[in-house]
Amino acid sequence: MDNAIYPTCVEDALLEWQEAFEDPEFLQEQGIHPYFVKQATRDVFGQVLTDIWLQTGEAQIGEELAETLIKKFIVAAVLLEMKDAGYVDSIEDENGEEIFWATAKGKEHAQKM
């Protein structure tokens, strides 16, 4: 979970992406609840935008990277929703990566599908 404070230009870029992801049509197409948009945006885009800003002085990403990050955003938002519902849980490993696994509730639900 990303609770970092970013430079203003990165925060501005994060807000632009967040607003784009809050489009009702996009949310419906992807099956994403709006509640999870802000956190998923920060989780996926925050460090990447910061790294680019440090290298180039601008918090902008190219089209190819954007496509990859959008896919990661969708996965992150769905995982956050599943975690909130109790279907998965997670822990941070020694590298700071969040590792997910199915809970008993999640396994039971998967077997019923």
Tokens linked to 26 = 């996009």
**Those residues with Cβ within 8 angstroms of residue 81's Cβ, 6 or more apart along the chain or in another chain:** 32, 33, 35, 36
Per-residue pLDDT for 1 more than 70? no
Please give the single-letter amino acid code of residue 13: A
DSSP class of residue 102 equals E
Dihedral sign for Cα 24, 29, 33, 39, please.
negative
pTM for this prediction: 0.87
Which stretches within 22-62 are classed as H helix?
24-30, 37-56
Question: Measured in whole angstroms, how far is the alpha carbon of residue 93 from the centre of its chain?
Answer: 18
Residue 32 CA, chain-centre distance (Å), reads: 11
pLDDT digits (tens, 9 = 90+) for 35-79: 999 999 999 999 999 999 999 999 999 999 999 999 999 999 999
